[in-house]
Amino acid sequence: MKVIVTLKKSVIGSRPEHIATIKALGLHKTHSSVEKELTPQIKGMIHSVRHLVDCKEIAE
């Protein structure tokens, strides 16, 4: 299964761990999106920054 992850809020003022997670997901600017394969690692990363991102499942 694939998901589209979109950065909805700015990372300014966020904890350094959250900023690193956003960068590891491949997100740079607010409202930028990436398509990722939903693995347990990606799911955990999305969960840790769920207050900053929005994710939508894609039907393959």
Please report, for the chain, the start and end positions of each structural domain, with discontinuous segments joined by +: 2-58
**In this predicted model, what pLDDT tens digit does every residue of 24-59 receive, in sequence order?**
999 999 999 999 999 999 999 999 999 999 999 998
Q: Report the first-to-last Cα separation within the chain, whole angstroms.
A: 7
Tokens of 52: 């900053």
Spatial contact of 48 and 23, defined as CB atoms under 8 Å apart: no
pLDDT of amino acid 60: 72
Residue 8 — very low, low, confident or very high, per pLDDT cuts 50/70/90?
very high
Across the range 16-28, mean pLDDT stands at: 97
Please say whether the beta carbons of 52 and 23 come within 8 A.
no
The answer to whether residues 27 and 7 touch, using CB atoms and an 8 Å cutoff, is yes
Considering the domain delimited by 2-58, tell me its CATH architecture.
2-Layer Sandwich (3.30)
